[in-house]
Amino acid sequence: MSDQQQPPSGRDRDPSAPGQPPGEQPAPERAGAGDLGRRLAHRRRELGLTREDAAARAGMAPDYLRYLEESAGATPGTNVLLRLADVLRTTVTEFTGGAAERPPGQGQAAPHPAFTELSVRECRALLASHGVGRLAVNTASGPVVVPVNYSVVDGSIVFRTAPGTTPALAVGSRVAFEVDRVDEALSEGWSVLVRGHARAVTDPGSVRRLTERAHSEPWAGGVRELWIRVDPTETTGRRITV
């Protein structure tokens, strides 16, 4: 195989694979090589679909979908992206990174939305499924909300930061923590709000346990060895569906 990966050939090749037949329009430009594949795979996993299930619903071979997800050089046509967007309940804009810099929630509301309260059990399940949340803390100049990469360990929200940072101000105080999901394509979404007490984790055994069990690394990088644990005292949530 050459330096540039090629799509599957023969009977496993999707009829709309690169190069496309005459009349097939190229996909919109995306932010960077490989972004499309990562977005496709991420959305598929969010919906709990196997590659075989998603490929069957989109009318393509699983090997071709694997190629789209794993090859940085994949350039599927618009028709292919539209089929995948329909199966994965999203938009071509989302796949190609066009909405990456756009604040969520700019889409139109659905014609007949349903607003429901989530049970504590549902809230805990949603909290455990995510890795980025918003921490609200008090500072000398007033309340501040900052995003943090978090995990849920033994029912508590845990994250890692550095002394002197804004998240570190949570230690020893009552805080609020929020995580949400907005589906622009369907005008649906949910949010979970946690109130609780934050404390620094300093016991070596506990630090080792969090290091082993927490799955989210701080995206900001750098040395961040201060573990903070938020023990929930109140958990509420809500969901909007069509």
- Residues 127 and 47: their CA atoms lie apart, in Å, by 16
Q: Are strands 156-161 and 114-117 parallel, antiparallel or unpaired?
A: unpaired
Collapse the DSSP code of 20 into the 3-class scheme (helix H, G, I; strand E, B; otherwise coil) and give the result.
coil
**Residue 235 and residue 132 share a domain:** yes
Q: What parts of the chain have a pLDDT lower than 70?
A: 1-34, 97-112, 183-186, 216, 218-223
User: What integer pLDDT is reported at residue 108 of this predicted model?
Assistant: 59
> Is 190 strand, coil or helix?
strand
Domain extent, residue 180, equals 114-241
Q: What is the CATH number of the domain that holds 144?
A: 2.30.110.10
According to the model, what pLDDT value does residue 129 have? 78
Is 106 within the bounds of a domain? no
Last-in-domain residue among 95, 125, 142: 95
Same domain for 227 and 151 = yes
* Final residue before a domain boundary, out of 60, 95, 130: 95
pTM: 0.56
| Residue 56 domain flag | yes
pLDDT at position 75, please?
A: 83
The CATH number for 72's domain is: 1.10.260.40
Mean pLDDT of the chain: 78
Q: Is residue 219 located within the same domain as residue 145? A: yes
Distance of alpha carbon 177 from alpha carbon 59, whole angstroms: 42
pLDDT of residue 161: 92
Q: Which pLDDT value is given to residue 219?
A: 60
Residue whose entry in the numeric block shows the structure tokens 């709000």: 193
| Same domain? 15 vs 88 | yes
Query: What was the pLDDT predicted at 46?
Result: 82
Token match 């932010």: residue?
31
The residues that bridge with 115 in the sheet, in sequence order, are 240
SS (H, E, C) 91-155: CHHHHCCCCCCCCCCCCCCCCCCEEEECCHHHHHHHHHCCCEEEEEEEECCEEEEEEEEEEEECC
Which phi-psi region, left, alpha or beta, contains residue 34 (left: φ > 0; alpha: ψ -120 to 50)? left
Q: At what angle do helices 62-70 and 51-58 cross, to 10 degrees?
A: 110
* Distance from C-alpha of 190 to C-alpha of 118, rounded to nearest angstrom: 9
The pLDDT assigned to 171 comes to 94
Q: What pLDDT digit, counting tens, does each position of 166-212 carry? A: 999 999 999 999 998 876 656 778 899 999 999 999 889 888 888 88
Q: What's residue 81's pLDDT?
A: 87
Is 33 domain-assigned? yes
Looking at the structure of the chain, the number of domains it has is 2
